A and B are shown apart, each in its own frame.
Chain A
Amino acid sequence: NAGVTQTPKFQVLKTGQSMTLQCAQDMNHEYMSWYRQDPGMGLRLIHYSVGAGITDQGEVPNGYNVSRSTTEDFPLRLLSAAPSQTSVYFCASSPGQGRLGDGYTFGSGTRLTVV
């Protein structure tokens, strides 16, 4: 199993550009989430999904869109990149309610710089 795979690992964008961060998991996990991590700020939840076709906002959703058309994939779209979106983005997945103790498994992250 590859676990949670995020692409790309690094990205530089110009202000105003749009892009999609990809996230895929091969563990048949129900739940998936996107976090951003800034220095000294910890992990902040952007969007999450409890299953295919179901998404909801987290703590800091503005400027981001998500969709969940399949169980495996949960892409994060930046609509119009801003320097404030410079961060490390982590995707994570979890088996779901029946296995609460398993927590979330994280991908290795995407380091995004917006200039």
Chain B
Amino acid sequence: RKEVEQDPGPFNVPEGATVAFNCTYSNSASQSFFWYRQDCRKEPKLLMSVYSSGNEDGRFTAQLNRASQYISLLIRDSKLSDSATYLCAPTPMDSSYKLIFGSGTRLLVRP
């Protein structure tokens, strides 16, 4: 099993919709995660860090489900500018600080 798995999508939603996608992880000891956003032909940028209590930033909410070993990202009131690929990565558990990413979920928000 891959360390981190994501549904590649694309998720095609109308503007204003609520959309959610998950990221599953294999290391049950993982305690925190990152969600990154990557626009086409650009570098990834940190969207938010996710801890056991989850995280909310405006229209974006991330939650951790330890029992089922996945993290979710919920986007409310989708904007055209939310169209991007969303990458997740568990925070490294050891001193190597190797950050291993999932392959990303592509979101397309249409007018």
Contacts and interface: CB of A to CB of B under 8 A. Distances in A.
Interface of A: 31, 33, 35, 40-43, 45, 48, 50, 56, 58-59, 90, 92, 94, 96-97, 100-109
A106 B98 CA distance: 14
B66 interface: no
Contact of A43 (B32, B45, B101): B101
Query: Which size bracket describes the interface of B in this complex?
Result: 20 to 34
A103 B89 CA distance: 10
B42 A31 contact: no
A43 B42 contact: no
Contact of A101 (B42, B49, B104): B49
A102 to B, nearest CB: 8
A7 B63 CA distance: 37
Given A31-B97, A97-B95, A100-B32, A40 B103 contact: yes
B61 to A, nearest CB: 17
